[in-house]
Amino acid sequence: MQTKLKMNWSLSCVAVVALCTLLNIQPAKADEGMWLTMFLQRLNMTDMKKMGLKLSAEELYSINKSSLKDAIGGLTPAGNFQNHFCTSEVISQKGLLLTNHHCAYDAIQSHSTVKNNILRDGFWAKSTSEELPCKDINVSFLVRMEDVTARVLAAVKDAKDEGERAKLAAAEIAKITAEATKGTHYNAYVKDFYKGNDYYLFVVESFKDVRLVGNPAEAIGKFGGDTDNWMWPRHTGDFSFFRVYMGKDGKPAEYSPDNVPYVPKHSLPISLKGVKPNDFTMVMGYPGRTDRYRAAAGIQLDMEETNPARIKLRTKRLALMKEGMDKSDAVRIKYASKYASLSNYWKYFIGQNQGLKRLKTLDYKRNLEAQFQAWADKGNNAAYKTVLADLNKGYADLKEVNLFNTYRGECIFGAEIVQQAQQLYMVRQMLAKPEGAAMKGQVLGGIKESLTDYFKDYNAGIDRKTLAAMLAYYYKDVPKAQHPDIFAKISNEFDNDFNAYAEYVFDNSFLASKGSFLEFLDAYSDETLTKDPAYMLAESFARKTDEIRPKIVAANAAIDKGMRTYLAGLKEMNPKTTAYPDANSTLRLTYGKVIAYKGKDAVNYDYKTNIEGLMEKEDPANEEFIVPTKLSEVYKNKDFGMYAENGTVPVAFITDNDITGGNSGSPVINGNGELVGTAFDGNWEAMTGDLVFDKALKRCINVDIRYTLFIVEKVGGATNLIQEMKIVR
């Protein structure tokens, strides 16, 4: 029987600090926490004012007036208005957006060719007519948020299990979003907080016409490459520009040459005054995911099994990509974005595991749980007494299928041909149903349209080697009981020679080339599909997944329910305190200060870097540390213009703002509401940040806005962009 929890974690009830009493630590400081903008007046303004904020709460978040939130755009995939992959900020009254170079990387790569390689050489539109459409990107601005906890919890109070709870919640959320958007052009979504103890509605205005305006050469935008990634000190010009367009009626519209630049409710002025130690800073954006309340058993599973598997598999996939990219400029362009994306979190998982061990996070979590259990045993709530045992059981069950789940995603679907085959497997299941069969032409037509972009960035040679390597890893590492039946075929017909099997698949599958794929779609045949070797591979894994999925679902349901109960118990144990919510791709504000740190014994880092440090790193023989000729010339001539400080140009600086993935591109704003930088990374010593906050070491790495504008004007020559910004000196 499901225990009914009466606890409501509504942020409006109490002031937010960390789990102080329970955790035996100091209350959460200003630099820790990703705060919902709706509650800043009640929860944070006193601290923020003391630290240097000059604005009112209404200037930060308002429904009826222009406020800071109106300048913050969440970047999403086309057609998606709630899952933000990066953040951007409006910096002119003509809809000019600033974000990171790595956030625009896909868009830049998609417009690059061997003859016009704007990824390598950079791109600057000198007029709006030269701006490049980015059909795969939308940008959303928050209109308002609302607490809908009571409605959702009332709808699920009689649910018999987690599955029914999810269905009832989804039904109520559908009603809430429909009511919120009725008669408007807005979109809306509801997100849960504290593992389903709270729910909030977000109403957004989502724009579909986004265009690339400018980006520095890759040697600037990605200076330092994988070597410097997640590291400080940094000298990376990680910035790019988009522009938002709207219809002539002022509303979002599909791309059209007739659309006009977006006129924002608010745009950020830009300060050239720079930063100094202890200056107040805010970062507003869309942090993706944190899991800081995860149980010890979950941390242990990540440390001992999941992360090592990800690191191992990605190391091989990256090596195979690099091998192909080094042989051809065309392949290098095709795989630039895929490689960067895969590499980013490959290094992250390495750093996270090292940090978890260094901080003794597992011991820390176990100690917290022991304190909770001691408190729960003294009370009358049976659910609290058993919740940790329930969580441990859920993770024990998950561990039995964890390698299968991890390898299926990282390994098998690491081969792109299998991803395509899996898509056709799902299409075949859909077409077998009457309602699906009626949509056959539309579905197959959509696949056909996608193939141009897919094969534009595809290399069968790399994919074949990847398939062979990943199948070999799966065969060796995953328990034999979790092997799909395709491995019997590989054993019987290919003597477990995975290279030979991969050759067979690519030689005989219509999925390996655009021409044969299109021919199949034009004359779709179930018989042809089921005989295709790539499809047979995907179908075999799909059948095994169907067999194992119930156990994965059951384990995750137990964990979800357990965490919801555990967090409610923590709140009840400490009624005068609560915890800030984990990040979940909703708009948050973090605040802190400019501050240096000590990385390790005898290693003390300054709070900023300058252009001299970039030149010191220059290495023409290393593609990660090449300095473009134009930048070298400007540096030699000391042509720094209005962006100089003490005879140099600042490049980057660090703050103790609390950020994570999704905050990339977020504005760093001073106490006057002026833009001073753009957040783009975290530091190596604090790679545990998604699981536990380390106050001493956690740092947010930011491009100094003066370096951004210096590159725009002095290297890119795009003075037209400078002229449309409001610059404060």
Q: What are the domain boundaries of the chain?
A: 296-569
653-676: average pLDDT = 97
Long-range contacts of 501-507 (CB under 8 A, 24+ apart): 501/468, 501/471, 502/464, 502/465, 502/467, 502/468, 502/471, 503/464, 504/533, 505/417, 505/464, 505/467, 505/533, 505/534, 505/537, 506/417, 506/460, 506/463, 506/464, 506/467
Q: In this predicted model, what pLDDT tens digit does every residue of 63-94 receive, in sequence order?
A: 999 999 999 999 999 999 999 999 999 999 99
pLDDT surpassing 50 at residue 35:
yes
**Given this model, what pLDDT does residue 437 score?**
86
**Given this model, what pLDDT does residue 279 score?**
98
CB 77 within 8 A of CB 225: no
pLDDT band at 9 (very low <50, low <70, confident <90, very high): very low
618-627: average pLDDT = 96
Within 10 Å of residue 621's Cβ, how many Cβ atoms? Answer: 6
Non-local (6+) Cβ contacts of 286 within 8 A are 72, 74, 84, 86, 87, 585, 586, 587, 588, 662, 663, 666
**Given this model, what pLDDT does residue 578 score?**
57
120-125: average pLDDT = 98
pLDDT band at 32 (very low <50, low <70, confident <90, very high): confident
Least confident of 395-409, 658-672, 681-695: 681-695
**Given this model, what pLDDT does residue 31 score?**
64
Non-local (6+) Cβ contacts of 102 within 8 A are 221, 222, 238, 340, 344, 664, 680
What share of the chain in percent tops pLDDT 70?
Answer: 96
What share of the chain in percent tops pLDDT 90?
Answer: 90
Q: What is the mean pLDDT of the chain?
A: 93
Helix ranges restricted to H, 590-637:
611-617, 629-637
**Given this model, what pLDDT does residue 577 score?**
73
Q: Please indicate whether residue 24 or residue 473 has the higher confidence score (pLDDT).
A: 473
**Given this model, what pLDDT does residue 359 score?**
87
pLDDT band at 407 (very low <50, low <70, confident <90, very high): very high
Q: In this predicted model, what pLDDT tens digit does every residue of 270-309 receive, in sequence order?
A: 999 999 999 999 999 999 999 999 999 999 999 999 999 9
C-alpha of 570 from chain center: 28
**Given this model, what pLDDT does residue 643 score?**
98
Q: In this predicted model, what pLDDT tens digit does every residue of 343-395 receive, in sequence order?
A: 999 999 999 999 999 889 999 999 999 999 999 999 999 999 999 999 999 99
246-256: average pLDDT = 97
Q: In this predicted model, what pLDDT tens digit does every residue of 257-279 receive, in sequence order?
A: 999 999 999 999 999 999 999 99
List the catalytic residues.
102, 238, 664
